[in-house]
Copies of this chain bind each other. A is one copy, B any other.
Amino acid sequence: MNEKLELDKRKAFILATVVYEYINTAEPVGSVTLTQKYNLGVSSATVRNELAELESLGYLVQPHTSAGRIPSDAGYRTYVDRLMQPESLTKDDTRRIRDQFREASQELGDVIEQTTRLLSGLSGNLAIAVAPSRDTHAFKHVQLLWLSSRTGLAIVVTSGGVGAQRVFEWTTEVNADELTRLSNALNSRFGGRVMEEIGPADIDAVCAELGTSAEIREAVRGVFATARQTDEPEIAAAGAQNLLDQPEFHDLRKLRAILRIVEEQRTLYDLIADELAAENAAATDAAHVRIGHELRADELSECSVVTVPYRFGDRGVGMLAILGPRRMPYGRLIALASGTARSLGDHLNDVEIR
């Protein structure tokens, strides 16, 4: 039960070393390699005994009888949770992240995409970014514009940029003043609110006060609904070609599974959705690692995902993620993802519409 007892100091060191070595070489690790490359102070025979025990405890597996050991999900898990040393960003990484955000876009969607490019480049894996739910954006401004006597343009601006815009054609003539008055009323009523606090009933109330026509009311409802729309959260991914470097993806079926996941926004989002939900509840900024079967997807049983939330003001939470083989440099990737998330949050707060 108690892992402290289960893993004495030497076992822990050997396990850590096996994981470390396997991450670096992609080759199963044997007892001789361990005694030669690392200063264990015991003979390979002793290491063999330890390896056998670690295997029976479930931390290591053998691909076949006469091969070295590779870590199991549990082995990676223990390594990540208790054995590895946390890393911090290198000077070079810090600089590259800073440079990237210095000239980053103001549009949420563009920033998300640029961030995935950055993170995939730095990490050498597939990077994913999910934008904060639009529901948590702050309402900034709504404007109904008179285009012609029967057409108008409705624009909702939120802290994420232009939340929605749409052109409407009406069956009856519309007065420009009427639109302006309605805009002003909506703005003063909703100013300072978060989008999820603005429902159809609130809109109806304002419209009723001004005696707005049903047609225009529908238009306003519609554009607000679009601005809140949460069923297709903004998401971006980049760096799939990085995965080709990893020997575990030379198998075409695995590669195919990954590519399918990347191209289908839905599955990609599902991959991160539970972390996002957990994050919204827990509200810590820590990176999380999910390993192999913990991802609950057969195609990803040989992959790991590092996720880290980023904060958009004091409201929204988005997610950055790195997807790669289980054999990934966890310490470095956690540092990269955390650093990027922090910079991303800072950037978004800087450019946020005040």
Contact = CB atoms under 8 A, between A and B. Distances in A.
Given A148-B354, A151-B354, A165 B162 contact: yes
Interface in A15-37: none
29 contacts: A106-B167, A140-B147, A140-B153, A141-B147, A141-B153, A143-B143, A143-B145, A143-B155, A145-B157, A147-B353, A147-B354, A148-B354, A151-B354, A153-B157, A155-B155, A157-B165, A161-B165, A162-B162, A167-B354, A240-B240, A240-B259, A241-B256, A241-B259, A241-B263, A244-B252, A244-B255, A244-B256, A244-B259, A250-B252
Interface residue tally on A, bucketed by range: 20 to 34
Given A106-B166, A153-B353, A244-B252, 11 more contacts: A141-B145, A141-B153, A143-B143, A143-B145, A151-B354, A157-B165, A162-B165, A167-B353, A240-B263, A241-B259, A244-B259
A165 B252 CA distance: 44
A162 B155 CA distance: 9
A143 B250 CA distance: 53
A238 interface: yes
A239 interface: yes
A293 interface: no
A337 B250 CA distance: 32
